[in-house]
């Protein structure tokens, strides 16, 4: 029987994994989150210190494996925060904490619009 590498199901049953199957497989797998932001022009000089302070809390959060900030080579206002998490559960706990008054960050005042958050994990065997 031929197995589909993403879903671990026979191809005859499904060529794609269901959301539930993906969730089961991804438990306890590391996660990389990309937070894509564009800074307001008027905060370009002050933003690095505020972002550094904000990310110190992210780095200290249980399950965080590291954080980097990368910038667009053609647009200094465009940044991507790259977060590495020990598990999906650690990332979820962090996002829940950031949604509380205690965990709220000042990043919203620095950006031109809502950040785009995208989460990734490894695809074994590729």
Assign residue 52 a region: left if phi > 0, alpha if psi is -120 to 50, beta otherwise? Answer: alpha
Q: What is the pLDDT of residues 13-34, one digit of tens each?
A: 444 555 555 555 556 689 999 9
Domain residue ranges in the chain: 29-120
Q: What is the pLDDT of residues 58-90, one digit of tens each?
A: 999 999 999 999 999 999 999 999 999 999 999
Give 11's pLDDT tier (boundaries 50, 70, 90).
very low
Evaluate if residue 41 carries a pLDDT over 90: yes
| Ramachandran category for residue 114: left, alpha or beta (phi over 0 → left; psi -120 to 50 → alpha) | beta
Fold of 29-120: Alpha-Beta Plaits (3.30.70)
Summarised one tens digit per residue, pLDDT across range 82-123 is 999 999 999 999 999 999 999 999 999 999 999 999 999 988
CA distance 88 to 97: 14
């Amino acid at each position: 029987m031929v197995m589909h590498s993403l879903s671990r199901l026979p191809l005859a049953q499904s060529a794609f994994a269901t959301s539930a199957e993906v969730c089961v497989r991804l438990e306890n797998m590391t996660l990389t989150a990309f937070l894509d932001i564009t800074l307001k022009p008027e905060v370009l000089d002050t933003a690095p210190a505020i972002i550094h302070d904000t990310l110190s809390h992210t780095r200290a959060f249980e399950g965080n494996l590291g954080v980097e900030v990368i910038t667009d080579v053609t647009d200094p206002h465009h940044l991507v925060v790259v977060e590495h998490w020990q598990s999906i559960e650690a990332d979820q706990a962090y996002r829940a904490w950031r949604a509380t008054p205690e965990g709220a960050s000042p990043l919203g005042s620095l950006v031109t619009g809502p950040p785009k958050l995208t989460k990734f994990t490894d695809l074994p065997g590729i």
